[in-house]
Structure 1
């Protein structure tokens, strides 16, 4: 590295999403005085997967030591850190599946490690009684479930991320936002091959002692990850509720079917119920000459028509009274998978002043309160060796095309979906979304 790290070192964070905000917060809490975050959008970034009304907060698989450490740190943050505690809703969690293989997967990966935390739901009546009368009215045909009543639930994602950014700014971090000023177009390389800063869309160069890439699914546009990242998208829809309905649904447990989807109580501001379509993910494949295909993220306030149908089918099984309601908001949101879903948080092997914080693999938001602390440990050379090994630079995992790997996910025919296949069937857009692109009507 060019210089020894000090509290006065110039540190640039590329990306003002979940991990970027967390890293800025932890660095400024450690008294770093020169932290700058670049993003094309103000927090919460319009293309950040964390810019959402709510995210599921669930217990992870504690079989691996690293998972135990990460879960303990995240849980401590959501339960004890005053920046984050207001946004954690400890309402419980219902996990379910239908096919024999999915039921077995849930039992192997989730239930057997926390068997004492769950009680089983094996009848439609059991599911319906898990919530107030009138919430779950479906037939739950073929469903098998497990209910954990506490220590899990959901968090208000957008508010938690904004709170982290505001506290970081109060402690001295600078947020540079805007399509020209905040959009990093390329990295600045010195003659020695190291990274010396970034160049933004307005043509300005910004020099730094360390550059941290926390750009989510957009990270491969700045750095060659040698096929270690796969930008993958999931789809969500919101339904506007009446005040009376919102009161009825308040504090219900999250209900998550590993092959169909999940929904969470309406948020307190817009009174919108969020429903997600569960599947192994969408990719947007672009073929390259003499190279492996790449998935290029294209965030948008629309969802494929097939996803909209699956969301309505999920509602017909759980809450059919909502199944034909109009969607008030829709979104296709992008994360970045790694081949084994372990994070990729490490110094670049050829550019030692470049720190990579990538590969959230669909479970990055859970770690908002704590992930920036681990990035800071890495920056300071103090990252736990077991975590560093898990998160290492590992191009051997991407030597062949792994883009169709399910990574343990189910739903929608149990295959990775191709966004290009949606061109013929069209897209569906929420009636309140500002981007009024042409949509299909179901």
Structure 2
């Protein structure tokens, strides 16, 4: 027997004897991680999927497809820009009531919460999608169909997630599926951009509801499983001075000069710092200020984003930013010839915590087992989603897709295609039932 063939046969024997291994690919990384899928969870999902009520719900998801499409179009065409999600929240709450939730309410920050009582209510499991989109007020959100594909800003991220969560509620109601745990079906505000996860932060506020497991629905497909939170710090930094004529007031402090120095010092130091260790990123995304070419500006600002799944790395690059700002302030004030000193305002406008839920815990294992049961390859990843908050608090949490396929997220050409989208609802429901317990 030649050596390559011998090696291949040995590998086959080892694979058949070893536990089922699944490979997790980090977003933006080349490194893969071996994650063992415990056979217990595979068997649990297989048994759950055979239950008559579950099979009935699966048929209902198919029957609901035309209505689910109409729900998607209706919600997409209700603008939901950052901090202005109220109208969509009202519409979604009405849909949840009609679907048959035991109680539905809109909380103080405009989260929609629909409660479905469990048999014992000893646990509470959340299934959530976010109400907001990245698009500002005035954006044309009219849905356009080209063949089987729907085009509109926000149609996939995350309006499709909202309709998938709604369809799961409808399917469970019509199939008369009962859970042991209470289930909260949530449409959350503030997931995008400067919303800073404010909806989920409110859910986990001191004195808020006790939540035992958290399933966020964001993105498409049935393979992805986010179990690690990509933390971020976001700052708006504004240098302020008296401002004046470029000739007549020459010699006073110039905010643009300080801003330029701060950007240079920060990026130079951050570049060195982020070349080692866990992937950590930084970006100066917005700069603004000034009124005219012949006017010394009275203020100059920038918005900075830093990200890492390591709290230590995130704190480290943050420290470099603070040092660069103070150095720039000091140097700009040192070269003035007249007038008052420059001042700086450093405002934290985004703080998303990082963290990790181990892939061996039941929720992650169940999500992996469901993907495998539906003939999809589970892919574990890191991401910045609403699940960051419960992950950072040690609450079992994952983010999974809503089925179908799509693209162009955060662009005016965003699209979603119902390519076996019903599998998304089946997946969400199976993960939910495994976590919440299906009552006999």
What's the TM-score bracket when you normalise by the shorter of the two chains? under 0.3
* Structure number with larger C-alpha Rg: 2
**Under a length normalisation based on structure 2, what TM-score does the superposition of the two structures give?**
0.21
